[in-house]
Amino acid sequence: MATVVDELIRRVYEQVLPLRAGAPADYIPELAKVDPDGFGICLATADGHVYEVGDTRVPFTIQSISKPFTYALALTDRGEHAVADKIDVEPSGEPFNEISLDPGTERPRNPMINAGAITATSLVAGDGRDARFERIRAAYSAYAGRELHVDDAVYRSESESGYRNRAIGYMLRSFGIVTGDPEDAVDLYFRQCSLSVTCHDLAVMTATLANNGVNALTRERVLPTELVERVLSVMATCGMYDAAGAWVAEVGLPAKSGVGGGVVAVLPGQLGIAVYSPRLDAHGNSVRGVEVCRALSRELELHFLHVTRAARSAIRARYPIAQSPSRMRRTRAERDLLDQLSDHGVIYELHGDLQFTGAEATVREIARGEARLEAVVIDVREIDEVSDVAATMLSSVRGELVALDCGVALVDPRGRLGHTQSSLEGPGGRVFHDLDAAIEWCEDLLLARHWSGTRPPGSIRLDQHPLLQRLTPEQRDVALTLVEHVEFERDDVLVHRGEPTAGLFLLLEGRVSSLVTDNADGRVRRVSTLSAGMTFGEIPLLLDTVALSSFVATTAGRAARLPASVYADLSARDPSLELGLVKGIAAGAYEQLDTMLRSLAHVPGGR
């Protein structure tokens, strides 16, 4: 299914598409030939997933978006101090192609303007112009995860019309910033700007920066971690030329634009954004690209100063419902069926602060299994803070799952996602205060859909009870005369914790829960829930001791009770019946223990 993020970038695409302001760059003749209305958006996460819409595979030249990547290569080759001796890192406040140096330092003000970028190309190591360019091309290819190549027509056009850049090159040589032939440095700059990329390539390249210099697709380290911070810092303060201040205030992401129509932005540790649209504004930035980044930053709350806490949101755990059954006691046949449906029901436990990337990872993970999913538990008990966009994304994915006939159980006792106990009531989902109740609801849903035979009845006769069925016919006839019938209403306490045994109860109709009070926080916790055909009270009866938990009716129903005094007389009166009951109780207890252990196996924080 299309995820919430797919729909979001599609919506932004459609909102921005009508913009027709600006025009393609024409000072390089070949750039003026492109379709002015080409438009694509890509968003790549730090773990390598790419969302895209529009003309994301249309090739265009990288132009000035090349600057941070060549700057990174120069830092790698020469070191931070050597590069700093040649290029400052201060915003210029001037157009990108200004023929000037800082009057105080007599250096280019930063590597994102042409003077600084030409200087950076001159610092790339290599034996000759071709070898140095090959290192640049190979580095860009490593960021993109595929081989990139020069657009020869654009390169020739740049070279033939690049008088201003040649003037910058000779100015740099005259001040000793470029020490070799300035023609070599300028030609390298023309060639790197003429590398052909797609919007998809740029998204992967920026996601590599977001991922601390490791390409999430190839797992190759492209840039040392310690240099990523410097490159992103310069992008944040200088990447959008003389519009950099407004960019930081409005968008708040390290970014870079190019006159080929590309704009890239990075949210460190999380994602990279790339937009392609050739119509440029007066600053040389893509009109649509700037507006897309504004919209995404606003809607996804991506501004790097918006983060309120250091904690990262994440999926704490993901596991099948069958691996962590509820404390509802099921028959062997029911448990076997739930095991068979293991990949039809999944639990997602989230923790930390839920911002865009945590929600994105969750909805993407859910989307991967949507073909089989029929029941999903989303546990947000360990979530601390929730952004509006994250709440919206989880609400949207719930709606999509319900539309696909998948039940959704949201465990949100504190109402972090804005839902109350009843606000999600319905066939598609509910809100629960504890994980166990949510799992039980999902199990019931799966059993209702897939049980092919006759389900265990909600009401049985006494002679049909499994405990009596384990006896011989003669023992069963005797047992039927020894029990008394009990009817109860919801919330009736049938067994009180700490009191002497009340006898052995054979549940015939309704549900009864075993409850204990947590001494640490005073909360009442469910140990298990029983239904028709099950027993309780057996352990205190056999050991002649007090009950360790209370048994409370969760529905109206009825049971048969073998009083403790009657059982005490069986040793002398009918030892074979006593032995039969003990064997039956032991068999049932073993099954219950198996269920209990499995219910605890995958619950790190308890239920």
**Domain residue spans of the chain:** 4-24+36-300, 314-450, 462-601
Is 80 exceeded by the pLDDT of residue 591? Answer: no
Is 60 exceeded by the pLDDT of residue 421? Answer: no
Q: In CATH, what class is 314-450?
A: alpha beta
Residue 485: DSSP 8-state: E
- Say whether 603 is catalytic: no
C-alpha closest to that of 122 among 194, 185, 166: 185
Judged by average pLDDT, the poorest of 56-60, 136-140, 514-518 is 514-518
Active-site residue, from 51, 67, 231, 397 = 67
Same fold for the pair 4-24+36-300 and 462-601: no
CATH (one of 3.40.50.1000, 3.40.710.10, 3.40.50.300, 3.40.190.10) for 4-24+36-300: 3.40.710.10
C-alpha closest to that of 340 among 321, 314, 318: 321
Judged by average pLDDT, the poorest of 20-34, 262-276, 346-360, 557-571 is 346-360
- Segment 373-396 shows an average pLDDT of 86
183 confidence band (pLDDT: 50, 70, 90): very high
Is 50 exceeded by the pLDDT of residue 397? Answer: yes
- Segment 388-417 shows an average pLDDT of 85
Return the pLDDT at 302. 82
Q: In 10 A of CB 523, how many CB atoms?
A: 10
Return the pLDDT at 311. 42
- Say whether 259 is catalytic: yes
213 confidence band (pLDDT: 50, 70, 90): very high
Tokens of 259: 């006159």
Is 60 exceeded by the pLDDT of residue 607? Answer: no
- Segment 536-557 shows an average pLDDT of 92
- Segment 464-473 shows an average pLDDT of 91
Q: Which fold has domain 462-601?
A: Jelly Rolls (2.60.120)
- Say whether 276 is catalytic: no
- Segment 499-521 shows an average pLDDT of 89
Q: What is the pLDDT of residues 157-170, one digit of tens each?
A: 999 999 999 999 99
Return the pLDDT at 327. 81
Is 60 exceeded by the pLDDT of residue 605? Answer: no
Contact (Cβ atoms closer than 8 angstroms) between residue 374 and residue 339: no
Is 60 exceeded by the pLDDT of residue 335? Answer: yes
Contact (Cβ atoms closer than 8 angstroms) between residue 379 and residue 347: yes
- Say whether 241 is catalytic: yes
Active-site residue, from 51, 140, 143, 189 = 189
| Alpha-carbon gap, residue 290 to 275, rounded angstroms | 8
Active-site residue, from 259, 363, 408, 495 = 259
| Alpha-carbon gap, residue 188 to 170, rounded angstroms | 14
Return the pLDDT at 522. 77
C-alpha distance from residue 575 to each of 270, 360, 570, 581 (Å): 70, 64, 6, 10
Please name the residue that has the structure tokens 């999600």.
Answer: 424
Is 90 exceeded by the pLDDT of residue 454? Answer: no
Return the pLDDT at 308. 47
Active-site residue, from 51, 71, 241, 348 = 241
Active-site residue, from 51, 64, 348, 408 = 64
Q: In 10 A of CB 340, how many CB atoms?
A: 12
- Say whether 319 is catalytic: no
Tell me the whole-structure pTM to 2 decimals: 0.71
